[in-house]
Structure 1
Amino acid sequence: MAQSDNRTAAIVGGGVIGGGWAARFALMGWDVRIFDPDPEAERKISEVLAGAERALPMLYDAPMPTRGQITFHSDLAEAVNGVAYIQESVPERLDLKHKVFAQIQDACPEDAVLASSTSGFKPSELQDGALRPGQIVVAHPFNPVYLLPLAELVPGEGGDPATTERARQILREIGMYPLHVRAEIDAHIADRFLEAVWREALWLVKDGIATTEEIDDAIRYGFGLRWAQMGLFETYRIAGGEAGMKHFLEQFGPCLTWPWTKLMDVPEYNDALVDLIAGQSDDQSGHMSIRELERLRDNNLVAMMRALKGQGAAAGKLILDHETDLRGPLQDDVPLVTIRRTVPVDWTDVNGHMNEGRYGQVFSDASEELMTHVGADRDYIAAGNSYFTAETNIKYLAETLAAESFYVETRVLLGEGKKLRLWHEMKRASDDEILATCDQFLLHVSLETRKSCPPLPHVAEAVERLAAAHSA
């Protein structure tokens, strides 16, 4: 058998999970060999890869590696010969996995990592009867593998420490977070939580307490957002206030014996358990005060919900709809106040002030508010008409910090035919100091021809009226 290549991986089983692994490795610069007897495997994985190529690079501001070569193989031995890393993602049947591992180990390098995507089997079950048991580890990912970084790395008692370390290094190299699970347990760590929540959800639906949508809403509008950025214990540490985790446990520990859930097999609640959890929580988060943790939590929640808002999904759609109620129509003042808002934390850079690119967004938002005011709204755009910015000239006059409130005053300098020229002044709300100005020139266009054209009469009349009122 040839020794392992440095950056070649084999994917055995090309379903949803295997395709995600293939995409992650290839986009991180690894050559990938795929074995899957499904005649549709190449088409399916190509479609997963197309989605990954669109999404994964958007996470990074650094340049992505040159994409590795993906090849499809009808012979398993050929696919695994000489590779550094093998990810098995065949169906969850132990007899099938044993058969596949035997074929892989007959052909792969002895120093290659042989990892399984299994969500339920323990490493000892996978290693049973294997030619080289220590070579087999669990690396359990989450869908979509090309975006979600967690991989539960479970070597088991029979795992080879050198193989485990190579697996950890390779997973980190492709942008994953290898969570080393030290003890063997069915379903590892994460899926045990998911299974507990899933079982309780099934009971709630069966007993007529909640619908599937109501259960999903409870997660995505509430604790799911907290879990996404602080997990379970750090979230509850904050809930304990300045007294921390021990106070939280003292307050809510007795609830374990209450009949809130169908899952009533709970650990004995005693001082030893309280001290154990409180001590680990101190080790995890004790270097930060509760106020610091709250600030971190709030910043993360704002950034995540604003991301959801940008996609019009879940809690983000809720904010979008609420904004419509809060904003109301513009008043026909001279100048128009088109924007009133606060600088969000995700708009700031390493210097703590608003990034210059965000000023462009502020003035773009101001012009969109004006367009809505004159009738060039979403329906107008959906009908094939809009204004496109042709030129801007922004001047930065003063520093703008996170959480500062500001407003934008907009004047229509020119409203003639297809031409629209706006003057924006961004001002700090607390003292009316001008923070930045923007001279913006727009052209009305047809979205069908993508060429300039006169606006529809009702929009043209509104623009001309504003231009006359603002002429001074």
Structure 2
Amino acid sequence: MTMLAPISRAACIGGGVIGGGWIARFLLAGIDVSVFDPHPEAERIVGEVIANAERAYGLLTQAPLPARGQLVFCASLAEAVKGAEWVQESVPERLDLKHRVLAEIDAAAPATALIGSSTSGLKPSDLQQGLSHPGRLFVAHPYNPVYLLPLVEIVGGAATAPATIERAKAVLDAIGMKGVVIAREIEAFVGDRLLEALWREALWLIKDDICDVETLDDVIRYSFGLRWAQMGLFQTYRIAGGEAGMRHFLAQFGPCLQWPWTKLTDVVNLDEALVEKIGAQSDAQAAGLSIRELERIRDENLVGIVQALKAGRGGEGWGAGALLADFERRLLAGAPAPAPADPTAPLALVETRVSPAWIDYNGHMTEHRYLQVFGDTTDALLRLIGVDLAYVEGGHSYYTVETHLRHLDEARLGEELRTTCQILSVDEKRLHLFHRMFAGADRREIATAEQMLLHVDVAKGRAMPATDAVLARLRGLAAAHASLPAPAGAGRSVGGSR
């Protein structure tokens, strides 16, 4: 499969929460990753993070990902960075430790390697001190989970070369991330400055018994957290200003900033009693769920939000959803056509899993998602016969003009789905298909779809013969399927016997 990322090998120094997320993000982008982490259980911890990431990607997108990169755990830092094009340092947040580790990386990594630090607050100019090649070091501050949240704050230090920043942005873009360049370096950058302000106020609210941790989290996740997820702060407040916009909002609510509400400049004393109070409330909130279970719930929720954002603006997407849609288009453009194992059998074209965003109030896959999966099956067939993005950009495509769906069983959250396609007939303009959908390990049949497609001139909006190359592929497949028995549901009218 075509590699999207402009690098083929990365090294990750540190495999904790953030380091493990970087490892998963690189691997699932098809990049080989060498890891050094002296923790005795590093391989287990990283393996569990990767397993969660692969599960999340299976829910997030049906676009064909590159073949997973090779993962190697190394006995030394020097071994890990050998041949790496990007080295990501994710060791604990101590300047003395980072200085020592970054100096080792700088001495052992290839001269052209990018060196990113996952620090959440240290200035890159401070990290560059003592390095022989400081121009390639920058802060690449991600957010947890790195494999799902696309933002990375890119912060250069006094010695960082502009070309380093541009190369870093290009790599992040290629692996589906959003690299935002912070114009001036400050401690904690932008995201953590905002989070620190909210966190400080939240600690006071708990200490003063205004609410408990669950109530505080509910206030965020049921209100402005949902707004922030797709519009951020300023665009949200612009809307709050009504038709007069941001200027009216600032005039109306700006004076409130002078009122003595906040304790943002008064640091709470995190003494033993307050730590225990918060810890006990957090334990009660978790209700016995393990960290890995909470991670999977978090991943499912994030996938659902991003998928919903991808469907916004008539399918163009919004925010993180638009970023995912663009990443999927590039994956599809670089993917080879599916190669059926046996062209004389119904074509196995799609394997996916029931996403949390697909579930209705009954706990089953909602109705329109069946059509979506069958549409993905048709799209896979079209790529197989040469009707790919380039073909469509050339002004021709197949349009579905008729679909008949049969619902035979139900699909549940997380179940694997597989579809097959049988070609019933082909002529110069028409394509008659029959799809079947199977669910679960027992491959029970849960739905069928019979479709008629017309080949069209997109600009003129009318049917026209397909190209000779496309027709040749179609007729070859149709001939291979001619000996297959006619599907029992083909040609069935609505309301007829099953």
Task: Sort the TM-score into its range (normalised by shorter chain).
Answer: 0.5 to 0.7
Aligned to 1:288: none
Q: Show the counterpart of 2:182.
A: 181
Q: Which residue of 1 aligns with 2:74?
A: 73
Task: Tell me: CA distance 1:134–1:356, structure 2 relative to 1, closer, same or farther (3 Å).
Answer: farther
Amino acid paired to 1:75: S
SS of the aligned residue for 2:188 comes to coil
Equivalent position SS for 2:55: helix
- Partners of 2:446 and 2:119 lie apart in 1 by 55
Q: Partner residue of 1:85?
A: 86
Answer whether contact 2:25 2:146 (CA < 8 A) is retained: yes
What is the one-letter code of the residue matched to 2:93? E
* Partner Cα distance (2:261, 2:401) in 1: 48
After superposition, the C-alpha distances for 1:260-316 in whole angstroms (9 at most, x for unaligned) are 221269xxxxxxxxxxxxxxxxxxxxxxxxxxxx989xx979x9xxxxxx759xxx9
Q: How far apart are 1:393 and its partner, in Å?
A: 6.2
User: Which runs of 5 or more structure 2 residues have no equivalent in the other structure?
Assistant: 1-5, 267-311, 322-354, 380-398, 411-442, 453-492
Bigger RCO (CA 8 Å, 6+ sep): 2
User: Which structure 1 residue ranges, 5 or more long, are not aligned?
Assistant: 266-293, 304-309, 325-340, 366-387, 398-435, 442-472
Amino acid at match of 1:99: R
Q: Distance in 2 between matches of 1:356 and 1:226?
A: 38
* Structure with larger Rg: 1
Task: Provide the C-alpha distance between the structure 1 equivalents of 2:135 and 2:496, rounded to a whole number of angstroms.
Answer: 67
Closer, same or farther in 2 for the Cα pair 1:52/1:393, shift >3 Å? closer
User: SS at the partner of 1:138?
Assistant: strand
Write out per-residue CA displacement over residues 180-219 of structure 1, whole angstroms, 9 at most, x where no aligned residue.
Answer: 1111111111111111111111111111111111111011
Task: Indicate the residue corresponding to 1:134 in structure 2.
Answer: 135
Instruction: Give the Å deviation of 1:347.
Output: 7.8
Q: Which residue of 1 aligns with 2:52?
A: 51
CA drift at 1:364: 6.7
- Contact 1:394–1:438 (CA under 8 A) maintained in structure 2: no
* Equivalent residue runs for 1:155-234 within 5 Å: 155-234=156-235
The TM-score normalised by the length of structure 1 is 0.59
C-alpha displacement at 1:60, in angstroms? 2.3
CA distance in 2, matches of 1:96, 1:89: 11
Write the distance in 1 (CA, Å) between the matches of 2:372 and 2:148: 23
CA distance in 2, matches of 1:347, 1:355: 15
> Kindly tell me: are residues 125 and 355 of structure 1, through their superposed partners in 2, closer, same or farther at Cα, counting changes over 3 Å?
farther
- Count of residue pairs the alignment pairs up: 320
**Which residue is 1:103 aligned to?**
104
Cα drift, residue 100 of structure 1: 0.7
The residue matched to 1:254 in structure 2 has which SS? helix
Residue aligned with 1:32, SS: strand
Counterpart CA distance in 2 for 1:219 and 1:45 is 30
Query: 1:392, 1:439 within 8 Å by CA — same for their partners in 2?
Result: no
Question: Is contact 1:347–1:354 with CA below 8 Å preserved after alignment?
Answer: no
TM-score (norm 2): 0.56
How big is the alpha-carbon RMSD for the aligned residues of Structure 1 and Structure 2?
A: 4.0
1:87 aligns to what SS in structure 2? strand
Cα 1:125–1:360, aligned 2, differ >3 Å: closer, same or farther? Answer: farther
Matched position secondary structure for 1:140: strand
Identity %: 53
Task: Decide whether the 8 Å contact of 1:12 with 1:36 is kept in 2.
Answer: yes
| SS of residue paired to 1:163 | helix
| 3-state SS, counterpart of residue 153 of structure 1 | strand
Shift of 1:44: 1.1
- Give the corresponding residue for 2:236: 235
Shift of 1:396: 9.0
CA distance in 2, matches of 1:109, 1:123: 20
Quote how far apart the aligned CAs of 1:15 are.
0.8
Q: How does 1:15-26 map to 2 (within 5 A)?
A: 15-26=16-27
Q: For 2:170 and 2:313, how far apart are their aligned partners in 1? A: 33
Does the CA-based 8 Å contact 1:140-1:151 persist in structure 2?
yes
Aligned to 2:125: 124
Is 1:148 the counterpart of 2:149? The answer is yes
Q: Give SS of 2:87's match.
A: strand
State how 1:67-466 maps to structure 2 within 5 Å.
67-263=68-264, 311=356, 437=494
Residue 229 of structure 2 aligns to a residue whose secondary structure is helix
Equivalent-residue separation in structure 1 for 2:446 and 2:39 (angstroms): 53
The C-alpha deviation readout for 1:1-32, integer Å capped at 9, x for no partner, is xxxx9410000011111111111101101010
Q: Secondary structure at the match of 1:77?
A: helix
Cα pair 2:403 2:450 within 8 Å, conserved: no
Cα distance in 2, alignment partners of residues 63 and 103 from structure 1: 37
Q: Contact between 2:405 and 2:447, CA under 8 Å: does it hold in 1? A: no
Note the C-alpha offset of 1:58.
2.8
Cα distance in structure 2, aligned partners of 1:111 and 1:33? 17
Contact map agreement 2:404 2:449 (CA 8 A) in 1: no
The amino acid across from 2:129 in the alignment is D
Q: Secondary structure at the match of 1:130?
A: coil
